[in-house]
Amino acid sequence: MSEDLVPRFVSIPGGVFTMGSDDGNDDERPARVIQVDAFHASAHPVTVDQYAVFVAQTGHPPPTLRVLPMVVTAHHELQFRELAAPYVWRSGQPPSERGRHPVTLVTHADAVAYCRWLSGQIGMLARLPTEAEWERAACGGLEHKRYPWGDDIDASRANFLPEPSLKRHRGTRPVGSYPANGFDLFDMAGNVWQWAADWYSAEACRTSPDRNPRGPAVGVFRVLRGGSWVTHDVDQLRRAHRHKVPPDTYAYSIGFRVVYSG
Domain 3-261 classified CATH 3.40.50.620? Answer: no
Cβ–Cβ under 8 Å, residues 74 and 158: no
State residue 166's pLDDT score.
84
Would you say 255 and 194 are in contact if contact means Cβ atoms under 8 Å apart? Answer: yes
Q: What type of residue sits at position 96?
A: S
Share of the chain above pLDDT 90, in %: 94
User: Are the beta carbons of 93 and 51 closer than 8 angstroms?
Assistant: no
Please indicate, yes or no, whether the overall pTM of this predicted structure exceeds 0.85: yes
Tell me the C-alpha to C-alpha distance, in Å, between residue 126 and each of 87, 145, 206, 213: 25, 29, 28, 18
| Distance separating alpha carbons of residues 94 and 163, to the nearest angstrom | 29
pLDDT band at 2 (very low <50, low <70, confident <90, very high): low
pLDDT of 3 above 60: no
pLDDT average, residue stretch 49-54? 98
pLDDT of residue 163: 87
**Over the stretch 178-229, which tens digit does the pLDDT of each residue have?**
999 999 999 999 999 999 999 999 999 999 999 999 999 999 999 999 999 9
Nearest to 260 by CA among 157, 118, 154: 118
Which pLDDT does position 167 carry in this prediction? 86
Confidence at residue 156, expressed as pLDDT on a 0 to 100 scale: 97
Query: Which band of pLDDT confidence, cut at 50, 70 and 90, is reported for residue 1?
Result: low
CA nearest neighbour of 43 among 165, 174, 152, 175: 175
